[in-house]
Structures are given as structure tokens and as C-alpha cells.
Amino acid sequence: MTLFTLLLVLIIERLFKLGEHWQLDHRLEVVFRRVTRFSLTATLAMTLAVMLVVWLLLEALEGLFFNLPLLVVWILIGLLCIGAGVVRLHYHAYLKAASRDDSHARDAMASELTLIHGVPPDCDEREYLRELQNALLWINYRFYLAPLFWFVVGGEAGPVLVCGYAFLRAWQTWLARHHTPVERLRSGIDGVLHVVDWIPVRLVGVAYALIGHGEKALPAWFASLADRHTSQYHVLTQLAQFSLAQEPHLDKVKTPKAAVSMAKKATLVIVVVVALLTIYGTLV
């Protein structure tokens, strides 16, 4: 059921999911507004509570009406947790602004896309566009590849794990947008996601290494296996940049498009691998 649900979710997401309506991140804002104290304990407690609610829901629907309600819930959870939604609108707005040479609108949309990790101050145009590429690659990972990983490896508990991951993603974004760096640090969210992202980042890194220049990317990937301190963002984007080395880095439209194109290729490769593993019985 996992492969069928995943393919259906990706098709629906690509065709119909725009804006915030089907985004778990948006639905959780009503909860985040009520949080006034920030700590690692609170972050873990909220995440476990969300996962427990989803698990209880799945258990309650198990075996009812030939599992049709259960299938519907799997699909709804997948739609809420997988896909960028409103971020895709920001990306297209950036491209329109860049093509019109509207620097104000372009910078506003770039700020939205680089919200989590930001752009180094006083960087030149080439560095600015490279950081924008990195942000787009990371968005693809956060909203597509990482949820896909947890949805698949979780098996029957896939919806539980992907909801937990989506909650952590949404909490980090909310803190970055509405709270101070000190409050974000107290929440422990970056440390939790550093641990949670360790395995999927390296699996996705293999896809980027194989798509691009493997003679440079593969040694860097092997080195990352023993690296516990470098942020997962830098591990993933460094591997991806090896594949983007021959792409334009000075065109404000072509540069982000190159990153998105390669991210789509990596996503397709991983979906194909999941399908093959499912067909041969390795995955459920």
C-alpha cells in the first residue's frame, strides 16, 4: 500500500496542491501561536503527541470497511506532509520578478526561500545565487525527499513517522519566521533535526553524487559518513553543488532553475528505487 499511496500523493500534489490549504505547516500555526515557552523537552513532547494521535487514528481505522478509510487517511496524511505548496508559489514569483528585473520583489521572494539558513552578508552575485540554489535544494529535501524517506521506511507506521517529521519541519519554520534566534536555540529544534536528518541526507547525497560528477562527489560523500558535526544542510548542498558545477551561476533565472531541475531528477531517481525495491519485495 505504501508505493500505491506514495505515487498517488505525488501525482495529486503536483497537479492540485498550491498554496497553504493542504499544508500541515499551515494547519499547525494555530497550535504554535499558543506556545510561549521554548525548550527541547517541549519540542519533543509536542512531536510525540502528534505522532501518538496519528497512531491512535490508524489503529482505530484498522480493518474497517476493507481498510478503505485507512487508505483515505494515508493519502490525506501524505498530501499534508509531502509537497512544498506555498513555497512553490514563492519560487515562481521569484522567477517572474527576476525576469522583469524587479529587484525589490526578487529579494523579497529570495528571503522567503532562504528563510531557514539565510544568505551570508556582503556576498557577491555569484555567491548569492549559489546560496539560493542551496536553499532550493534544501526545500526539495525538506518537503519531498525526507518525508518520502520516513513514509517509506516506516512501513505500516509510515504516516506516524512522516507526521512527526512534518511537525518538526513546521516548528523550525515557525520559529525562524516569528521568533528570535535565542528562542529557536532554546527549543532544540535544530539539534533534533540534525539527528533525524542524518541518514536520509546521506541517502539523498548518493543520488546527487550519481547524477553529477561522481569522481568529486563520492569522496565527499564517504567523508560525510564519519562527520557528525557539519550541518546536514551543508553536507547535502555540498554534494549537490558538485553536480551543479557546470551549470550557470551568474544568471538570476537560469541558476535557480538548474537547482530545481536537478532536485527533480534526484526525486525521480529515489521514487524509481523505491518502486523497484517494492516490486522485488524488499519494501512493503
Distances from the Cα of 60 to the Cαs of 6, 70, 233, in angstroms?
Answer: 22, 9, 38
Mind listing the pLDDT tens digit of every residue in the chain (284 residues)?
677 788 888 888 887 776 677 889 888 999 999 998 899 999 999 999 999 999 999 999 988 888 899 999 999 999 999 988 788 888 989 999 989 888 888 888 988 899 888 887 777 888 888 889 999 999 999 999 999 999 988 888 999 999 999 999 999 999 999 999 999 999 999 999 999 999 999 999 888 888 766 567 778 888 888 888 889 999 999 888 887 877 666 788 888 898 898 888 888 888 888 888 777 665 55
Distances from the Cα of 268 to the Cαs of 27, 84, 159, 211, 264, in angstroms?
Answer: 28, 16, 21, 11, 6
How far apart (Å, rounded) are the C-alpha atoms in residues 261 and 74? 28
The gap from C-alpha 192 to its chain's centroid, in whole angstroms, comes to 15
SS3 percent helix, strand, coil of the chain, rounded to 5, is: 75, 0, 25
For the chain, give every domain's residue range: 1-280
